[in-house]
Amino acid sequence: MSAIVAKIAPKDFNKEELDILNKAAKVIVNGGTVVFPTETVYGLGANALSSSSAQKIYKAKGRPSDNPLIVHISDYEMLELIATNISDDARILMNKFWPGPLTLIFDKKDIVPSDTTGGLNTVAVRMPSHKVALELIRLAKLPIAAPSANISTRPSITSSTYALREMADRVDMIILSDDCEIGLESTVCDMTGIPVVLRPGKISQREIFEVIAKDETHLQKLYAELENITNKVEESDDGIKGPKSPGMKYRHYSPEAKLLIAKKGEGLRVLNEVIAQNDLIKVKVFCLQKDAKLYGDRAEVIGITLEDVGKNIFTKLRQMDDNQVDLIICEVLEGNTPSEKDMAKAIMNRLIKASSNK
């Protein structure tokens, strides 16, 4: 099988582009699979209300079928169709962050097949802001289930080059566009109790609490409840404490190259140690531009700011494999301001997963 491929810029669509989107919508309605861009990462979409369509997604990705999919919607009628027990807090968050990189977990309605939710009674829902994604869902008139469009265990895809290379033989149609603006997958937030972030992203637990808290006392109460929930969850083998989405238990984001996370300030020492042991090994050090001179020709600049790093990180991991790099070293990323710290946390969440050999 070879997919139909088309490219669309995320601006007002002309007639030809609308024809392409209509064609893609038809593929979805007829039970097929379409790779499409979102503001976070590329998605591999199919009809969220059809078991056989959901199964095609798992097959195309080689993904375990107990790892639930995110359902993408273009309006609030679709939300009411698939989810129930939607709290006032959820409404506040949707008002503030949708369309955008926030996925909310609700109790599901029966119309959503358990194949879409990996057997769970809850459903993850997101209204993306990318024009192509929104228009595709709108034209299909159906919620679209879409995990990240990478083969399972591999880094997510944020550029047209890799979307095409990885998915051309696995899906019915591919819509390409500019590089994804955010580059990290959406924040996944459980809304079945107090809002608890299961997968960090551009929107943080801090921002979510600040948006829903009525006053300082309420904010402190929310943090205390979160602490309580976090303490009840056993530390898992990835060393990260707290509740997580089911998907986070799987091997994830892994390049072929080995990825070593060094403590802050120890990148150079680790590099020198590695070279002393074996100077034939091809090593790159992921770093911010300001640190590049430390590592000479082994520096691989992944951004000027942490926001750039978020945008570039998956493409950088993939480029290292294209360049047959054996080992990537990356110092722990930290931020100074609260929003930089949040971004660093979301990026490190991916890098720690990518560095594990499970």
Residue 68 interacts, among ligand TXA, Mg ion, none and using kind-specific CB cut-offs from 5 to 8 Å, with: ligand TXA
47 is a contact residue toward Mg ion (CB under 5 A): no
Least distance between ligand TXA and beta carbon 233 (Å): 13
Residue among 128 and 267 whose Cβ is closer to ligand TXA: 128
Q: Which residue lies nearer to ligand TXA by CB, 199 or 298?
A: 199
Q: Binding partner of residue 246 among ligand TXA, Mg ion, none, CB under 5 to 8 Å per kind?
A: ligand TXA
Do residues 283 and 230 lie in contact, with contact meaning Cβ atoms separated by under 8 Å? no
Please report which helix (H) or strand (E) contains residue 329, including its range.
strand 327-331
Q: Which is nearer to ligand TXA, 144 or 270 (CB)?
A: 144
Q: Which residue is nearest to Mg ion (CB)?
A: 148
Q: Does 148 bind Mg ion (CB under 5 A)?
A: yes
Residues ≥6 apart with Cβ < 8 Å to 103? 70, 124, 125, 126, 186, 187, 188, 189
SS3 of 34, please? strand
CB of 207 to ligand TXA, least distance (A): 16
The reply to whether omega before 99 is within 30° of 0 (cis) is yes
Stretch that binds Mg ion, among 124-132, 144-152, 303-311, 345-353 (CB under 5 A): 144-152
Instruction: Identify which of residues 243 and 335 has a Cβ nearer to Mg ion in the complex.
Output: 243
Judged by the rule CB under 6 A, the positions of this chain that interact with ligand TXA are 38, 40-41, 43, 67-70, 103, 105, 117, 120, 122-124, 126, 128, 146-148, 185-186, 188, 198-199, 245-248
* Backbone φ and ψ of 321, nearest 5°: -70, -40
SS3 278: coil
CB 314 within 8 A of CB 148: no
Q: Which is nearer to ligand TXA, 246 or 335 (CB)?
A: 246
What contacts 221, CB < 8 A, 6 or more positions away? none
Helices (H) and strands (E) in the chain, counts: 11, 15
Shortest distance (Å) from residue 199 CB to ligand TXA: 5
Q: What is the CA radius of gyration of the chain?
A: 20
Question: Which residues does 358 contact at the CB level (< 8 Å), separation at least 6?
Answer: 237, 251
Q: Which does 6 bind (CB under 5 to 8 A by kind): ligand TXA, Mg ion, none?
A: none
Q: Binding partner of residue 123 among ligand TXA, Mg ion, none, CB under 5 to 8 Å per kind?
A: ligand TXA
Residue 348's binding partner out of Mg ion, ligand TXA, none, with CB under 5 to 8 Å set by partner kind: none
Which tokens belong to 159? 């550029």
Q: Taking each helix axis from N to C terminus, what angle separates 216-232 and 205-212, rounded to the nearest 10 degrees? A: 140
CB of 308 to ligand TXA, least distance (A): 18
The option from ligand TXA, Mg ion, none interacting with 245 (CB < 5 to 8 A, set by class) reads ligand TXA
What does the binding site for Mg ion look like in residue numbers (CB under 5 A)? 148
